[in-house]
A and B are shown apart, each in its own frame.
Chain A
Amino acid sequence: MNRTRAQVLRMLALVPYLQDHDGIPVDRVAQEFGVRPKQIEEDLRLLMFTGVGEFPGELIDFDLTALEDDGIISIRDAEVLSRPLRLTTNEGAALIVALRTLRAAAGETQLPVIDAALAKLETAVNGAPGAGAAVDVHVGQVDSGTLRTLTQGLESGRRLEIEYATASRDDHTTRQVDPRRLFVEQGQHYLEAWCLLAEDLRFFRVDRITAARVTDHWAEQHESTPRSVSDGFFTVGPETPSAVLELRPHAHWIVEYYEAEVLETFERDDEQVLRVQVHGSDESWLRRLVLRNAGAARVVEPASLAQAVRDAAASGLAAYSGQ
């Protein structure tokens, strides 16, 4: 959407909002609308040139002394728009797609509330119905019993005991955790919780929680540095293990999928080969990536990884020999 249209929409929402909040500080308004205070001031300046006519009393006006001296807004002569307008097609579609995503992520007991909100919201949208129906956000399925237990833990403020399977290290642990919130990112459910085993804040993928129960302990508040969600995901640092691989065409998808860096491109036996650097959470993850694509992906370095791949393949094959 272009800038001017966003501004017109905001100004139209501002007019009834300001009549409802007489004497509100500019900063508060900016916060509510999610823009900078300067932007709101510019909106107000433009609004003063609008109205039902051009004579005093017909143009929208502001108490300029209050605005300049105290940074608070008092709007006058704006009765023509005292109620907010209906949601635009885009606003409606944004909220409806968001609600449908919320629904896909929610537990069964929460569905009736979401459905009621969806139905009511649809009456508030102007224009073409169903614009939001053209967009689907896929949310991975998780066990509904597990989701219910985790939600109960959050609601009751209790500590949870979970059994958690780690994919990269391929191990399985039982942990006591104090739950903070549930969220869905990139189509996957996560539990953010303080882990008593790690003594730190952790993000657990809900589909890897194989069992969960609510304990009798109260969850405790733990001091921790606030982390953004993306910190919990894999981030590459100087210490992150990496490998240089050669990829034949059938493994080129690795570049896009794992954001590998292409170091070199060359032809061999009439096909394009990519030499790439790929980062992994640990060497076992890299070993599994190569084995999974064996024949189309090979290790150039480190030598230890190349050896680990060969060892794993050889001992894997031993199980099939002599049968």
Chain B
Amino acid sequence: MNLIFTLLSTRQFLSKEQIRQSIADYRDSTQAAFERKFERDKEELRELGITVEMGSNDKFFEDEPGYRIPRDQAELPELDLTREEAAVVGLAAQVWEHSSLAGESTTALVKLKTAGVQVDPEGLRMAEPRIATTEPAFESMWEATTRRVPVTFTYEAPGRDAMLRHLQPWRMISWRGRWYVGGHDLDRGATRVFRLSRITDDVVHDGRPGSYEIPADADVASLARSLFPAEPDRSAVLLLRTGRAQSLRRTATTVVPEGDGFDRVEVPYSSTRDFASEIASYGPDVVAVEPAELRDLVVQRLEAALVPLHRGTTGQDPAATAEGAAS
């Protein structure tokens, strides 16, 4: 704190010796201890996002370089937010739940208010998002990803042994309330996505900030897409019992009543296997008409449901690749 105040209060560059003399803790240290503390504190300021400028008071003489914090770069500029924009920022400050980011949002908002921004999110009629971060690995991974620090962690996917993994994190993604991190997997030499809830111990920072570059051709978007269900690229004809199978009706492109208690609908889908599972889950309320491969899978799934407990555990499993999440 004292270093910040001292460097802020000067227009002149202060030499190291001047700084040492003006702060008691530095003055009372040995030369070596002072050097160490000074470097540590400068690093701390950098982490806080405060720029310490190095330079010389007299450009014609090569005197010892000095330090100062330029006020215009350190202080919050005038933001000139409209009333509505300020309200939106106020709403944004409430988005993070129960993490240190909630605290950071609050401090940020106090700074903005102190700088004269009038924040009144009441009366703003907008969907209010909440972001939860319940995964213990979240904070450490956030720090690493936003600063480009390589990490090491133990990862345990269901049904597999725990493994030590080394990753250069590129991007964090929240999907359906769960956090994932994608990046360059140093063990596999390839791009991989990990689910944060499967990290079983501390995320260890394994390098300095900015240790690696995210390649310009890194297809982070497709990395993210691998998490999401694929876009529908084909279409099925189904019979839906009147008034049933609401989730299929919502995505149906055509609905034609058949007059016998069923509607004939066309529904787009992407994965035949997943779609067959969904259809089977409705039992007698949904009948797959075409394509034939979809119809066959539904029949297979329903037949499997008739096999009593403890029997018929061999043979082809219709649920072969159902719903495995990333990596």
| Residues of A participating in the B interface, judged by any CB pair closer than 8 Å | 1, 5-6, 8-13, 16-17, 20, 32-34, 46-47, 50-54, 80-81, 83-95, 97-99, 101-102, 104-107, 110, 113-114, 116-117, 120-121, 123-128, 131-132, 134-140, 147, 151, 154-155, 165-167, 170-172, 181-189, 207-208, 210, 229, 246, 248-253, 255-257, 268-269, 271-272, 287-300, 306, 309-320
B96:A127 contact, CB within 8 angstroms = no
B309:A300 contact, CB within 8 angstroms = yes
Interface size of B by CB at 8 A reads 118
Partner-binding segment picked from B30-38, B140-148, B200-208: B140-148
A-B contact pairs, 14 of them (CB 8 A): A6-B100, A33-B107, A85-B50, A92-B108, A95-B92, A99-B92, A117-B88, A135-B146, A184-B130, A210-B249, A257-B323, A269-B313, A291-B301, A320-B295
Partner-binding segment picked from B58-66, B71-79, B185-193, B263-271: B71-79
At the interface, yes or no: B118 with Cβ under 8 Å from chain A? no
A81:B8 contact, CB within 8 angstroms = yes
A292:B126 contact, CB within 8 angstroms = no
At the interface, yes or no: B247 with Cβ under 8 Å from chain A? yes
A171:B243 contact, CB within 8 angstroms = yes
A182:B304 contact, CB within 8 angstroms = no
Shortest distance between the CB of B6 and any CB in chain A (Å): 6
| Residues of B participating in the A interface, judged by any CB pair closer than 8 Å | 1-2, 4-6, 8-9, 22, 24, 44, 47-51, 73-77, 79-82, 84-86, 88-89, 91-93, 95-96, 100-115, 125-132, 139, 142-143, 145-147, 158-159, 169-177, 197, 224, 228, 239, 243-247, 249-250, 277-278, 280-285, 287, 295, 298-307, 309, 313-314, 317-325
A294:B110 contact, CB within 8 angstroms = no
Assembly CA distance A16 to B228 (angstroms): 46
In order of increasing CB-CB distance, the 6 nearest A-B pairs are A186-B177, A312-B283, A165-B246, A295-B304, A294-B305, A98-B95
Name the B residues within 8 Å of A287 (CB-CB): 283
Name the B residues within 8 Å of A116 (CB-CB): 82, 85
B283:A313 contact, CB within 8 angstroms = yes
B92:A34 contact, CB within 8 angstroms = no
Name the residue on A nearest B322 (C-beta).
A250
Number of A-B contacts (CB under 8 A): 371
Name the B residues within 8 Å of A166 (CB-CB): 246
Assembly CA distance A39 to B105 (angstroms): 18
Name the A residues within 8 Å of B84 (CB-CB): 113
A319:B49 contact, CB within 8 angstroms = no
A137:B129 contact, CB within 8 angstroms = yes
With contacts A6-B100, A8-B1, A248-B317 known, is A83 near B246, CB below 8 A?
no
Assembly CA distance A189 to B105 (angstroms): 22
Name the residue on B nearest A121 (C-beta).
B89
B49:A127 contact, CB within 8 angstroms = yes
With contacts A268-B313, A316-B280 known, is A170 near B285, CB below 8 A?
yes
A32:B129 contact, CB within 8 angstroms = no
- Chain B CB count within 10 A is highest, among A86, A229, A256, A317, for A86
B9:A80 contact, CB within 8 angstroms = yes
Name the A residues within 8 Å of B92 (CB-CB): 95, 98-99, 102, 117
A138:B173 contact, CB within 8 angstroms = yes
Name the B residues within 8 Å of A184 (CB-CB): 127-130
Given A182-B126, A250-B320, 14 further pairs, Cβ under 8 A: A33-B107, A52-B5, A81-B8, A83-B115, A88-B104, A90-B104, A98-B105, A99-B92, A102-B88, A102-B127, A185-B132, A186-B176, A315-B284, A316-B287
